[in-house]
């Protein structure tokens, strides 16, 4: 399995390119690890003033807040940097992770009393395939490939993986495409 994660393929998100088509949502629900539930988020930013939409996958933080605030030790990060969805036998459905994630990623499935989240289509990426959402995105908001491929496609952008929330610096496995030369993005 490790061989596939050594291919240097990475996830690149450019929510500025999101057109809100929700093709990624439909594809995400096909992921074998989600049980027919879409884990990707697509929503209007402020529908009353703009048509801007945003798309959000799990950013797979280096030091995940979600795992740190979990009272049941249900969230784990593996050796490849993938932060996995809640362990079903441990999750107690408290929503700590849902409310603490600075990117607003985990979903609380109220009916199942369980948190679920994107695990970068582990069933696919662990065998060298691309995540479902990245295979169907028509506008290039979601891309999974090598840095070289991304550089060729977006020569005027720089991938960053450092985000500032208050005084906290969050580093992620997933990259965000920013204006060329950017080093980080301050969110709050």
Contacts of 146 (CB under 8 A, 6+ apart): 7, 8, 9, 10
Q: Which is nearer to other proteins, 134 or 170 (CB)?
A: 170
Q: Which is nearer to other proteins, 23 or 70 (CB)?
A: 70
Structure tokens given for 73: 């030790």
CA dihedral 154, 160, 165, 167 (to 10 degrees): -140
How far apart, in whole angstroms, are the C-alpha atoms of residue 140 and residue 14? 7
Among the listed residues 10, 15, 62, 81, the single contact to other proteins using CB under 8 A:
15
DSSP lists the bridge partners of residue 83 as 77
Among the listed residues 21, 26, 29, 69, the single contact to other proteins using CB under 8 A:
69
Among the listed residues 23, 58, 70, 133, the single contact to other proteins using CB under 8 A:
70
Cα-to-chain-centroid distance, residue 79: 17
Helix (H) or strand (E) holding 32: none
CB of 130 to other proteins, least distance (A): 15
Among the listed residues 2, 8, 46, 148, the single contact to other proteins using CB under 8 A:
46
The DSSP 8-state label assigned to residue 61 in this structure reads B
CB of 40 to other proteins, least distance (A): 11
Q: Which is nearer to other proteins, 138 or 168 (CB)?
A: 168
Between CA 184 and CA 188, with CA 185 as vertex, the angle to 5 degrees is: 135
Measuring CA to CA, which residue among 93, 100, 90 is closest to residue 115?
93
Binding to other proteins in span 18-37, by CB under 8 A: 31-35
Q: Which is nearer to other proteins, 147 or 165 (CB)?
A: 165
Binding to other proteins in span 84-143, by CB under 8 A: 84, 88-90, 92-96, 98-106, 111-114, 119, 122-123, 126-127
Binding to other proteins by residue 17, rule CB under 8 A? yes
């Amino acid at each position: 399995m490790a061989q596939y994660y050594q291919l240097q393929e990475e996830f690149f998100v450019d929510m500025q390119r999101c057109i809100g088509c929700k093709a990624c949502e439909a594809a995400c629900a096909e992921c074998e690890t989600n049980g027919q539930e879409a884990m990707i988020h697509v929503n209007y930013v402020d529908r009353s003033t703009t048509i801007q939409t945003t798309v959000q996958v799990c950013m797979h933080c280096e030091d995940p807040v979600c795992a740190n605030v979990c009272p049941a030790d249900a969230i784990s990060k593996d050796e490849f940097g993938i932060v996995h969805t809640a362990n079903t036998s441990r999750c107690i459905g408290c929503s700590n992770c849902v409310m603490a994630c600075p990117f607003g990623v985990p979903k609380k499935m109220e009916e199942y009393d369980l948190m679920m989240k994107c695990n970068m289509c582990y069933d696919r990426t662990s065998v060298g395939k691309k995540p479902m959402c990245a295979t169907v995105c028509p506008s290039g908001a979601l891309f999974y490939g090598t840095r070289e491929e991304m550089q060729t496609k977006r020569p005027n952008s720089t991938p960053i993986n450092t985000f500032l929330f208050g005084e906290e610096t969050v580093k992620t496995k997933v990259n965000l495409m920013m204006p060329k030369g950017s080093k980080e993005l301050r969110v709050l």
